[in-house]
Amino acid sequence: MARIDIPWRCKTEISTLISNVIIGSTLKLPFLLLVDQFYISKWIIFTLLATLCVLYYLKNPDKGRTTRDSGLRMMSEAEFNKNKPKNLARVVNDRVWSFELTDHTSGWIYAEYRFGGETAQNFTDVLINAMQERGGADVLHGVPRLLYTDPGCALVSSTMRNLCKTLGIQLIAHKAGNARATGSVEKARDILECHFESGLRFVQVNNIDELNRLVGLWRKKYNRTALHRRTGMTRTDCWLRITPAQLIKAPPVDVCRELAVSLPENRKVTTHLRVPFRGSEYDVRQVPGVCVGDTLQIVRNPWRDSEAQVVIMNEDGLETFCRVPEVAKDDYGFALNAPTLGESFKALPHTTAQHHLAEIEQTLYGTTTPGETAAVQKANALPFGGRFNRKRR
């Protein structure tokens, strides 16, 4: 990881962030180190937040009205205040929520507006849209290695967890009630209010699609022109320094949505060290510690249709994936890489359990190779050279 000098104020903010992250005792943050010198991640890291827009509301088209004035309206203090609760209740379903997402390294700001509040569907859709390659000046895209957010429905919803799990995104939430931990995205909300929403009073906005079109134009210009105080460059210029190795392209929208609603499926390992999944068989011989009869959790590989992913636990206790290839077969159902009868033969590689058994047998008979072990077993040699007698006291 490349070393970058960071101002003291940034170190203080990062220390606050780390101290308020809720993580297990074995989890190691991949992008920060608790020492005097700090390091910036070589991977994409997103911060996500949803905020109720207190100034504006639109007529929600999902309410089924045939005729309505759907223009964007400002909530005046004279009409909407604590002494007039009925007025606020009247527009509660029409109030607009903004979803802000920032990139940790460049500070690039992505924003969308939606009805419905902090729902799992809204959070998932915004993340999927932000990961897509949109072209032009809308440069932010790709699958993040880590998603940092508040401990709300985004973290507990099964759809968000399924999507992140399959794409290999690590979810981290800060401590409840400590919004300053997600300072970059909170600042993005402030920038959005001051530089974009403040001008909506002078623009005719008829629906939420028009609002999202306008914020899309704004974010492309702002990220391309406004200088970031920490980096001294624009957010777009900073983002464009990303390397191909750091940028993981996201699957299409329809694939991401399918991943969000699909759970890992349990499959039993056959005698050929394969598992059936989605109408095909997959070779799992390279999965660490796999044995015949084991039950594996397997999910779709969103980047390659010819592969699947097996969920495994790494040495830090975190879930990772082991990619397994699909077994290609001919028209008669035989594997293409199988030996041809009468011409060649091929044995399956030994599993971890078989390797351990061979080591035990070599210890019993004092041999050094599997061939020597087989020879002494064929000769009915006694274990430990006959020195061990279980009946002797």
The share of the chain scoring above pLDDT 90, in percent, equals: 25
* Per-residue pLDDT tens over the stretch 318-364: 778 899 999 998 888 888 888 888 788 777 777 788 888 889 999 98
Most confidently predicted of 115-129, 141-155, 264-278: 264-278
* Per-residue pLDDT tens over the stretch 307-320: 998 988 877 777 78
Task: Say if residues 300 and 320 touch (Cβ distance below 8 Å).
Answer: no
Beta-strand pair 319-325/95-103: unpaired
Structure tokens at 184: 């970059």
Torsion-angle region of 239 (φ positive above 0: left; ψ -120 to 50: alpha; else: beta): alpha
Q: How many residues would you count in the chain?
A: 393
* Per-residue pLDDT tens over the stretch 137-167: 999 999 998 888 877 655 567 788 888 888 8
Contacts 24+ apart (CB under 8 A), 314-322: 316/26, 316/27, 316/28, 317/24, 317/26, 317/27, 318/26, 318/27, 318/170, 319/165, 320/168, 321/168, 322/286, 322/287, 322/288
Torsion-angle region of 324 (φ positive above 0: left; ψ -120 to 50: alpha; else: beta): beta
Inter-CA distances, 265 with 134, 215, 304, 370, Å:
32, 40, 18, 37
Q: What is the pLDDT of residue 65?
A: 52
* Per-residue pLDDT tens over the stretch 63-115: 555 444 445 555 555 555 555 556 555 555 567 888 999 998 899 999 999 88
Task: Say if residues 58 and 113 touch (Cβ distance below 8 Å).
Answer: no
Q: Residue 219: is its pLDDT beyond 70?
A: yes
- CB neighbour list of residue 68: distance below 8 Å, 6 or more residues apart: 59
- CB neighbour list of residue 155: distance below 8 Å, 6 or more residues apart: 149, 161, 171, 173
| Inter-axis angle of helices 370-378 and 352-365, nearest 10 | 60
- Whose CA is closest to 377, among 366, 387, 391, 393? 366
Q: Domains of the chain, with CATH numbers?
A: 8-259 (3.30.420.10), 352-386 (no CATH)
Structure tokens at 339: 């030996």
The whole-chain average pLDDT of the chain stands at 77
